[in-house]
């Protein structure tokens, strides 16, 4: 059965002046359909299913940071990729989350049409909602193909966004510690 995305892709190929029946393009509509299924799978994911009871009572009091988590998403304005690294920190308040859940949360929100500003806050809000920590900090650094491939064509530009709450927002010392840790090189 041919999906609607396959039909649209075939029409797009015609609109840009290509022949969708050309050997190299015959299977392109199906490949594009499968790719979009993957790119947008975040719409079908559920935070509670991702967490899967991986929240544990723990007397940890110090900052927990998962840094340099690679992400990719699609700009909702141009449907062009943006990608980069996310850094997530929180201060436990009697509970910790399985570390692998943080990248899964990032992916759930990144695999939707996005703007980096919203994406950053969605990740922070999700961590806040499941852990109720003393504070959350999310910093994202992204390269936007909509700025690099078209428009202003600035190939070396990066966009940084942050979302901070609790101790990260109230305490300059806490915020500074987080920013210092995520800026350290590990290689």
CATH (domain of 25): 1.10.286.10
pLDDT tens column, 21-71:
999 999 999 999 999 999 999 999 999 999 999 999 999 999 999 999 999
pLDDT tens column, 128-178:
999 999 999 999 999 998 888 877 777 778 899 999 999 999 999 999 999
**Residue 171 within any structural domain of the chain:** yes
**Residue 47 within any structural domain of the chain:** no
d(CA 5, CA 24): 18
Cβ-based neighbours of 85, under 8 Å, separated by 6 or more: 67, 68, 69, 70, 71, 140, 141
Cβ-based neighbours of 167, under 8 Å, separated by 6 or more: 91, 134, 135, 174
Same domain flag for 30 and 76: no
Same domain flag for 80 and 26: no
Same domain flag for 82 and 172: yes
Same domain flag for 16 and 86: no
- H/E stretch holding 69: strand 64-75
Domain that holds residue 15: 4-39
- Assigned token pair, 105: 């949360």
Residues designated as active site: 75-78, 116, 144, 146
**Residue 90 within any structural domain of the chain:** yes
Q: Report how many domains make up the chain.
A: 2
Instruction: Please state the pTM of the whole predicted model.
Output: 0.93
Q: Quote the distance between the C-alpha of residue 122 and its chain's center.
A: 9
Same domain flag for 98 and 15: no
Same domain flag for 60 and 34: no
pLDDT of residue 185: 74
């Amino acid at each position: 059965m041919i999906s609607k995305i396959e039909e649209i892709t075939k029409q797009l190929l015609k609109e840009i002046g290509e022949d969708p029946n050309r050997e190299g393009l015959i299977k392109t509509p199906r490949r594009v359909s499968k790719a979009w299924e993957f790119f947008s799978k975040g719409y079908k994911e559920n935070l509670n299913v991702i967490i899967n009871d991986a929240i544990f009572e723990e007397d940890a009091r110090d900052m927990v940071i998962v840094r340099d988590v690679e992400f990719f998403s699609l700009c909702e304005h141009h449907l062009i990729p943006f990608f980069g690294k996310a850094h997530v920190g929180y201060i436990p308040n009697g509970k910790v989350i399985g570390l692998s859940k943080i990248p899964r949360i990032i992916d759930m929100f990144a695999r939707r049409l996005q703007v980096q500003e919203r994406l950053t806050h969605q990740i922070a809000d999700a961590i806040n909602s499941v852990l109720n920590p003393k504070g959350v900090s999310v910093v994202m650094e992204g390269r936007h193909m909509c700025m690099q491939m078209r428009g202003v064509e600035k190939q070396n530009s990066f966009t940084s966004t942050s979302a901070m709450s609790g101790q990260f927002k109230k305490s300059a010392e806490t915020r500074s510690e987080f920013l210092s840790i995520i800026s350290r090189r590990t290689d």
